[in-house]
Amino acid sequence: MKIKLLIILALLSLPKAYSQEISKEEILKYGIETITAVDEDGKQLIKFFNAKGDIIKAGEVEKSGTLTINEEYRYIGFGQLDEIIKFDTDGRIHSIIKHQYNAQGQLVKAELLDDGKVDVTWTYTYDTAGNRIKETEDSNTSGNYVTVFKYENNSLLIEEDKSNDTIGKEEKVSYKYNDRKQLIEKRTKDYFSGTTLTQTYQYNEEGKIKQLKDKSSNGVSMVITYTYDEKGLLISDSWKGSLSKEAYTTFYIVNKK
């Protein structure tokens, strides 16, 4: 259950992951229908996009060529995400995330349903500028969490404070930006372990991430390097950790209309 919750939280997390990816604007501009990530072991993960540039399905291509769909995305209204449906290895529905919006189109509630029962509920509140300032997570299995978001000049996210109703403070995340408002540092303090994770970002002339450095206060570190084609589309990223002898590369293949 803990692993599943971490995956879902990644999907619902407010700030952008800040790893590089092919953007929705690029998907629309070049008429991209699928993006396939292929790692050095030959594992292929594929995402499908609709005419609006929104992801509609995600799955894995087996070595035999068989496609297995793991996730399905459904939208409503003006392209708002309605449901994320996750399937098990037999193709049966494993869990569903449902989303609710207010009159301004802001996500105000999300529910994770497992076997038809609500397992986790997230609620969100916003300030008058439209910034999300609070997230509350009510879980039947791992307790309740509250995350408070702080902004600079009513736009740039500069801090997150996450706490648990049983252990108190859990995590603090701070963000720094350059003059172009690009994220250059993300620092995460984990109160439980006492460790601090610092991520630093470097950009190319086109404003895309060319390198991400990740260093923990326990001495473990990694570097991810990104490469692009002549159109600026991501074609590979190469990951190397301080405990790794060699880099590990993932390639990205796009299929256009």
Contact 156, 135 (CB under 8 A): no
pLDDT at 167: 83
- Asked whether residue 2 is assigned to any structural domain, the reply reads no
Judged against a pLDDT cut of 70, whether residue 11 lies above it is answered with no
- Asked whether residue 99 is assigned to any structural domain, the reply reads yes
CATH label of the domain that carries residue 57: 2.40.160
Domain coverage including residue 246: 14-256
pLDDT tens sequence across 176-189? 999 999 999 999 99
- Asked whether residue 4 is assigned to any structural domain, the reply reads no
Judged against a pLDDT cut of 90, whether residue 166 lies above it is answered with no
- Tell me the DSSP string of 58-84: EEEE-TTS-EEEEEEEEEETTTEEEEE
Q: Which of 249, 257, 252, 234 is nearest to 26 (CA)?
A: 234
Mean pLDDT of 49-54: 96
Which region among 2-11, 24-33, 204-213 has the lowest average model confidence (pLDDT)?
Answer: 2-11
pLDDT at 127: 95
- Asked whether residue 136 is assigned to any structural domain, the reply reads yes
The span from the CA of 126 to the CA of 82, in Å, is 20
- Asked whether residue 230 is assigned to any structural domain, the reply reads yes
pLDDT tens sequence across 215-255? 999 999 999 999 999 999 999 999 999 988 889 999 999 99
pLDDT at 195: 96
The 3-state DSSP class for residue 2 equals helix
> DSSP character for 207?
S
- Asked whether residue 168 is assigned to any structural domain, the reply reads yes
- Asked whether residue 39 is assigned to any structural domain, the reply reads yes
Total domains, the chain: 1
Mean pLDDT of 102-123: 95
- Asked whether residue 149 is assigned to any structural domain, the reply reads yes
**Which is more confidently placed, 113 or 6?**
113
Q: Which of 111, 174, 168 is nearest to 140 (CA)?
A: 111
Amino acid at 67: L
